[in-house]
Amino acid sequence: KLTEDNFFNQSFPWYFAHRGAKNIYQENTLLAYENCIKRGNRFIELDVQQTNDGALVVMHDDTMDRTTNGNWAIRGVSSNYISTKSIIDKVNGEHTQFGYAPQMIPFLVDVFTQFGRKTNYIIESKDRKSARKIVELAKQMRVQDYIMIQSFSLPDLEEIKDEGIKLMHLKNNATMTTFREMRQANIEYFGCNKSSTDDYIRTAVEEGFPPFVYTVNTRYERDRLLGLGVAGFFSDDPFYLAGSSGNR
Ligand code: G3P
Ligand code: CA
């Protein structure tokens, strides 16, 4: 049953459907998100880029080459160009590897329009200019309490630190941000790579930032990380990973 609750009040662990559960559905498509929500997932993960005329597009890569019948960098093309292209399977041709017809490339507004308050949106801002636009669109669509914005860039998150939006800073091996800096930027949530050391994850937990770990697809890894105190996972198949337990 779909409700209009804000699912951020669920207890940990949370299981994020990474790019819409990309091991079982074509990544970053409306069809993927629809299936995730129908199956009870309440944390869909999306990546957002911006076109040269300021439209927010849901796509992981900087360029269209890997997943669509278009090419060029998203930042170099117009929203009209995006609308004329489709998400296809580059290996199998007309049909995607999951057996679906070619899909439209979604704009973030399409995702908010279709799913409204039926899910939480874990949105990664992939470029320097998009975070504030994502907030503005979410407020316009009245889903601001249902989004969390994630970024590897602390300055990008700092720009929206007073907007009352849930923020997650992502760490990779090159990220030098301290937990103190994260607190100063109103960061509430933290994401890190599964290659992080056990000591680092324990420190994050002690500092009040139990991490969400990307990208976790085996129950062995899940159980090991839960033992360290993590808050949840980005998973390419959250249904398998969570099994009958956990909030997803
Ligand atoms: O957003 C966290 C995680 O998704 C980072 O990996 O898939 O965006 O490269 P990705
Ligand atoms: Ca992401």
ipTM of the complex: 0.97
> Which protein residue has the closest C-alpha to ligand 1 atom 6?
214
Give all domains of the chain, ordered by start, each with its CATH number.
7-242 (3.20.20.190)
Q: Which atom of ligand 1 is nearest to the CA of 150?
A: 1
pLDDT tens sequence across 78-96: 999 999 999 987 666 554 5
pLDDT tens sequence across 194-210: 999 999 999 999 999 99
Q: Which atom of ligand 1 is nearest to the CA of 124?
A: 1
> Which protein residue has the closest C-alpha to ligand 1 atom 1?
124
The predicted structure's pLDDT at residue 82: 98
Relative to the alpha carbon of 47, which ligand is closest?
Answer: 2
Calculate the average pLDDT of the chain.
Answer: 92
Query: pTM of the entire structure?
Result: 0.94
The predicted structure's pLDDT at residue 2: 41
Give percent above pLDDT 90 in the chain. 84
The predicted structure's pLDDT at residue 171: 93
> Which protein residue has the closest C-alpha to ligand 1 atom 9?
60
Pocket of ligand 1 (CB under 6 A): 18, 47, 60, 124, 150, 170, 191, 214, 234
> What 3-state DSSP class applies to 15?
strand
Contact yes or no for 74/62 (Cβ under 8 A): yes
Structure tokens at 17: 């459907």
> Which protein residue has the closest C-alpha to ligand 1 atom 2?
214
The predicted structure's pLDDT at residue 226: 98
Q: How far is the CA of 198 from the centre of ligand 2 (A)?
A: 22
The predicted structure's pLDDT at residue 154: 94
Q: Which atom of ligand 1 is nearest to the CA of 18?
A: 4
The predicted structure's pLDDT at residue 35: 96
> Which protein residue has the closest C-alpha to ligand 1 atom 3?
214
Contact yes or no for 150/170 (Cβ under 8 A): yes
Mutate to test the pocket of ligand 1, among 14, 44, 45, 213 (most ligand atoms within 8 A of CB): 45
Distance CA 156, CA 145 (A): 19
CA atoms within 13 A on the CB side of 197: 4
The predicted structure's pLDDT at residue 3: 45
Regions in the chain scoring below 50 on pLDDT: 1-4, 95
Contact yes or no for 29/87 (Cβ under 8 A): yes
The predicted structure's pLDDT at residue 172: 86
Q: Max CA-CA distance within the chain? A: 50
Q: Which atom of ligand 1 is nearest to the CA of 122?
A: 1
Q: How far is the CA of 19 from the centre of ligand 2 (A)?
A: 7
Residue 108's alpha-carbon distances to 58, 147, 202, in angstroms, are 6, 12, 35
Q: For ligand 2, an ion, list residues with CB under 5 A.
A: 47, 124
